């Protein structure tokens, strides 16, 4: 029996959304928020309970103009099989075979473009990156959230597929100069985030990382540094999410195999990563 989603309408340190699986769970959450004032005096918003795979649809916006970027999906749970606590993202991939072009066209025409137009009409025109956190439900594409920034770690797998010069693209958004055609590589890209053991909870820093050069010997591999630093000339861990290893391949299977091989070359006593990034589409 599906139910609703009580959401505290205010700051709640990331704990304000309750995915209530039945009425009693929803009632408990509402009591907690409205009668026991868990987050202080405030209101709640009750949203529809949605099911289906989530995906990220980012678009560049300049006033009423909207240019969609390639779709991506991230993986928020810490461990393989979508187990464990939520994180800032343990990996991502692009493209998404489970989203049909009709779904993408619907999301662009009925969700992202109307938002840009609505902002313009309301007198607060937007120029930048509009991030749609969407879900493919049995009733069609629905909205989970919007952000006004690039998604992380989705951007790390989307931008490597963009073949058009990024400076010209960003200038078009910022200054209203003509937008070139956005050309996308047919290649797939998958990225694995390597994180400090204990993340997203407590973790230690300062562990030496070796093997980066070796991992980069494959020209289809890139490494983004997220939480590293140099200590006495050695690369060491310096954050929760430490680095993201991405690989490009002719399809998702190929990209996955290359990314996995590259992560296997990184040696560090305190890193873990998910091996099943892309599992929904592999
Ligand atoms: N990956 C989710 C976000 O950037 O909000």
pLDDT in tens, 51-95: 999 999 999 999 999 999 999 999 999 999 999 998 999 999 999
For 127, other C-beta atoms within 10 Å of its C-beta total 15
Structure tokens at 203: 């973790």
What pLDDT is attached to residue 104? 98
**Ligand 1 centroid to residue 195 C-alpha, Å:** 16
Closest CA to 246 of 264, 228, 258, 229: 258
The average pLDDT across 171-188 equals 96
| pLDDT, average across residues 23-29 | 90
Kindly give the distance from the C-alpha atom of residue 212 to the centroid of ligand 1, in angstroms, as a whole number. 26
Least reliable range by pLDDT among 13-27, 243-257, 259-273: 13-27
Distance 93 CA to ligand 1 centre (A): 13
Q: Is the CB of 86 under 6 A from ligand 1?
A: no
Residue 268 has pLDDT above 80, yes or no: yes
What are the distances in angstroms from CA 240 to CA 10, 193, 205? 27, 10, 8
pLDDT band at residue 1 using 50, 70 and 90 as cut-offs: very low
Query: Can you give the pLDDT at residue 184?
Result: 98
Stretch 45-50: mean pLDDT: 88
Question: What b/e string do you get for 158-182 counting C-beta neighbours within 10 Å, with b at 16 or more?
Answer: bbbbeeeeeeebeebbeeeeebeee
DSSP-based three-state secondary structure for 33: helix
Give nearest CA residue, ligand 1 atom 3. 151
Mean pLDDT over 205-213 rounds to: 98
């Amino acid at each position: 029996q599906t139910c609703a989603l009580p959401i505290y309408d205010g700051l709640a340190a990331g704990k304000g959304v309750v995915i209530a699986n039945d009425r009693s769970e929803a009632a408990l959450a509402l009591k907690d928020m409205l009668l026991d004032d868990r987050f202080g005096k405030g209101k709640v918003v009750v949203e529809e309970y949605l099911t289906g795979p989530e995906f990220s649809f980012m678009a560049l916006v300049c006033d009423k103009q909207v240019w969609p970027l390639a779709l991506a999906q991230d993986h928020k749970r810490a461990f393989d099989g979508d187990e464990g606590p939520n994180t800032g993202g343990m990996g991502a991939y692009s493209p998404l075979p489970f989203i049909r072009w009709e779904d993408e066209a619907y999301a662009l025409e009925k969700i992202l473009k109307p938002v840009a137009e609505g902002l313009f009409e309301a007198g607060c025109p937007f120029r930048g990156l509009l991030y749609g956190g969407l879900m493919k439900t049995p009733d069609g594409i629905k909205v989970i959230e919007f952000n006004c920034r690039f998604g992380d770690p989705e951007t790390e797998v989307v931008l490597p597929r963009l073949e058009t010069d990024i400076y010209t693209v960003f200038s078009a958004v910022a200054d209203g100069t003509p937008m070139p055609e956005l050309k996308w590589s047919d290649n797939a890209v998958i990225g694995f985030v390597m994180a400090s053991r204990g993340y997203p909870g407590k973790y230690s820093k300062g562990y030496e990382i070796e093997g980066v050069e070796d991992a980069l010997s494959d020209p289809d591999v890139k490494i983004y540094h997220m939480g590293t630093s140099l200590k006495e000339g050695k690369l060491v861990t310096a954050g929760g999410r430490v680095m993201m290893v991405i690989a490009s391949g002719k399809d998702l299977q190929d990209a996955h195999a290359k990314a996995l091989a590259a992560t296997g070359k990184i040696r560090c006593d305190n890193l873990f990563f998910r091996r099943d990034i892309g599992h929904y589409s592999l």
